[in-house]
Structure 1
Amino acid sequence: MEKYFKRKSTDELTESSSAPKKVNNSSKETSLGINLEDLPTDPGLRTRIWNYGFNVWEKVRMAYVQKGPCQPRDYKFPKKTLAGNSERRFNPAWFDEFSTWLEYSIEKDAAFCLCCYLFKPEMGEQAGGDAFTSKGFSNWKKGKEYIKAAALRNSQNLKSTSCDIQKDIVSAISTEVINTITRDISDSLFSILINDFLDMSSTNQMAIVLRFVDKGSVTERFLGIVHVTNATSLSLKVAFDDFFSRLGIIMSKLRGLSYVGTRNMHCEFNNLKTLVMEENKCAVYVHSFAHDLHSALIDVVKNHKEIMGLFTGVANVVSVVGTFVQCHDTLWKEHGVSILEALNSGEFIREQGVNESSSIFKTLSSLLTVFSIVIDVLEIISELGSDSEKKYNADTLLDSLQCFSFIFCLHMLVRIMAITDDLSHALQRRDQDILNFLNLVQVCKEQLKMMRESSWDSLLDEVSAFCDKHHIEVQKMDGLFLTRGGPKHKAQVITNKHHYCVDLFYNVIDMQLEELNNQFSETNTELLLCVACLDPSNSFSAFDKLKLIQFARYYPNDFSATDYMILEDQLEEYILDMRSSIQFSTLKGISDLAEKLVVAGRDQVYPLVYLLLTLALILPVATPRVERLFSAVNLLKNQLHNQMEDQWKRDSLIGYVEKDILDSIDNKVILQRLQHVKKFPWKLK
């Protein structure tokens, strides 16, 4: 310690033992009562901030901030003789260059830093760097260079690290970003896409994206998250209305609504959708093709107890085998690795595979291929496991997997998902053709119906052959089905065929068909067919005037009876103009057409046709950017961020997701917003 602290002599100790008493008494008296108006202005005469009582530090700081830096511009600065008999003095022009913090002491003929005096941490004499705080700087020969170096250090050291000020800054940023979005929307028509997720307390949150058309270009913006305290339809409606009223967005302009989340709030959202559409007849619901349809279909079948058991069993296989691979360096480790690779475990485990449906389809298909290896490895774990818990888990899995019910569900799901997989991929393509994917939806429905009507026997034969190959007992279809769990006297007496064919096979397929019908109802399908008539490709070959007039009738608030008659004439003129104009001959989609109409000024010539295009574009039917927006939200759904309070998390998300808007906002605007919120007694520059 003597290397860093010089040991005091006996005389020094005697002096120091009495001196602090005066200082402490003085400090105590100052902390109890201090006249802020009598604080010395000259920095050379000031008492250090840390010598005041801690309970008046902030008051003293505020007083000096209000006074501003001591800059006696009219003072006749004395000259100082330096080495070589050269004379130098303080240059008052430095006050203009460093106006916010540079000070001059007449008493000491030295320069000081106001920010350093107010905010530099107290670290004792060993900290050094007192030139700008207590001693002052007076080497005028290198004055400007030294002052610039001090300014650089100040900009690095004087950071806004207080939690409260960080929240205020983030809140100011969020407010300005939202204000920019609402100004862009103005009174435009828009649609809403909602995604739900759970925080660490398993409380539902709704992430909301708004879609509108600005000068022919589709724009999608993240508005924030809504905390759902009570997941009922009425509570959701109240939270929904309150959220948009605070933003000043007119709900009567809502024309589209879509839910792109999981099944967490699916039923509640359906009720919310009904409430919204009762108030606004023009707010149509359309399936969001950015959302993975497979995820929705899988979530539906997970409501069946035996199907949920299948997914749980596969997830447990990945977990148990993964632990075995990490702990054993044997020949069987290679088999374990091959199992994990085949089951694509990384994708399957993530959120239990809910949002990675293509991966789930591959996982279930691969399990059929590596089934023998899975059984062999589980048997090894059952015998050589490092503890009884691992052995028990392996035994339990062996019983679950080597069961006719598990094998039946596995084969059935692989067949069903093979039908829906192509449709799911087609719906997420960016270059999707509305007519083509509507045909795919119809084909998917027909295939599921055909499977229900004629594939029972072939499925049963396939399952029986697989069971025979792997020495699994095959259930006799005319035998009685044994219900697991529950009171035996209340169990319904049914045959195995009734259970597997009716309760399982027919039921699961019906659940898939019902979900497809909900996502693509007859009304929505007709609506999309009308939208397809606006497609400009192949010289507007899909154009159909009657269907476009029918499309307009879905929006009675936007078209009057007179408008329908005018629209008929406009459509005739419009199609002749489009087909005869070279600049519209190479367009590939509706969005290209809308932008080109604005550039060419045709949106003013055919305003009702342009309104049809706007209504078509705000339907959430092809939104790859929405996927990126919700993915950005998912990046922040970790344990640390989920523990943040709702407002701070919402403000942080808005600034993070809408980076392009944030980059366009001048820092002065954000500082002015911060000034308005905090009501500082000084002006931020």
Structure 2
Amino acid sequence: MSKDAAFCLWCYLFGEGHKHGENAFTKIGFRNWKKAIQKFKEHEGGGNNSHNYARAKCFGYKDQKHNVDYVFAQKSSEMEIAYRTWLTAVVDIIRYLLGQGLAFHGHDESSQSVHRGNFLELISWYCERNEEINSVMNSNAPANNQLSSPDIQKQIINACATEVRNVILNEIGDKYFSLLIDEARDSSVKEQMSIILRFVNDDGEVIERFLCVVYVSDTCSQSLKNAIDEFFAKNGLSLSRLRGQGYDGASNMRGEFNRLKALILKENRHARYIHCFSHQLQLVVVASVSKNGYVLHFFEYLSMIVNVAGASYKMRDNLRQQQHDARVKCIEECGVLTGKRKNQEMALARAGDTRWGSHFKTILRLFQLWDVVKKSDSGSI
């Protein structure tokens, strides 16, 4: 009344900044009284104009419990709490499996499978005994956010590994340490290098900590050295605090010139090389057993049988066929159970001097396949 002008309350409070707003009813004030009724009707309009937009905002403000933004915020808060609940449960299960050194996946993880693997089975077991967890997991969780896919499991496992590694590095601190390394191929035929640090803790105890497995493109000394340097730089370790290096007797590791031992000694002459005692013991056992004539002849004949039976693809295929026929006959006549992971094909394993356990594996395989080996067309066998 003091300005002798008309304003629209809804547009005045909630219409500012809207692209269809009218300044006459929000900032300046409407004074054209001769056309007031016509202009009021035009301003009120219909549909989704600026006036109705401001009106909806005003009613939403007055009734916030039913406001879309309020409801969405409440739902978001509830979803966040539920997400934290089932994420905590998944992390607890993963920590348990990691602590026990158990496999995560099963051979058949479909919903019809009796055993879907340790991870999925533990989730089901957890949900059956905890209603709070059951209310936010499996069918009650969003289909695209189950936190049970192999990729999610790997991400959480890597996060756990990073936390454990940080604890170990904090335990080492500024202490001197020794480096233990070995490399081998995994099941996918990729070269992997294991890194272990050995140090003395604050209580005077000698501690060995496994840190990680690093992929290397090849096992030449320079590639191994580059992988070590990258790992040290990433985890804040200094080569100057290295006081020992222990490897097996491979030439790429302990060679005097331009091998891994030599490359590290060039940068730190205090990093003395020590031949792996386990590897030395292995060599001693093999050498001692070789002095016993009976044992020596036994393993010589064992090696000859394995070599002859697997000397060519034809002989190996013949051995597989004989094994298959024997399995089929046994299933038909003896009623042996069949199913996944049952009655699998086996091959003769070669014994290696650097791994005494391989001799036992060779004997065990030959014992299991002896009848098949005798029937195969293997010449001298």
Which interval holds the TM-score relative to the shorter structure? 0.3 to 0.5
Query: Structure 1 length as normaliser, TM-score?
Result: 0.27
Query: Structure 2 length as normaliser, TM-score?
Result: 0.46
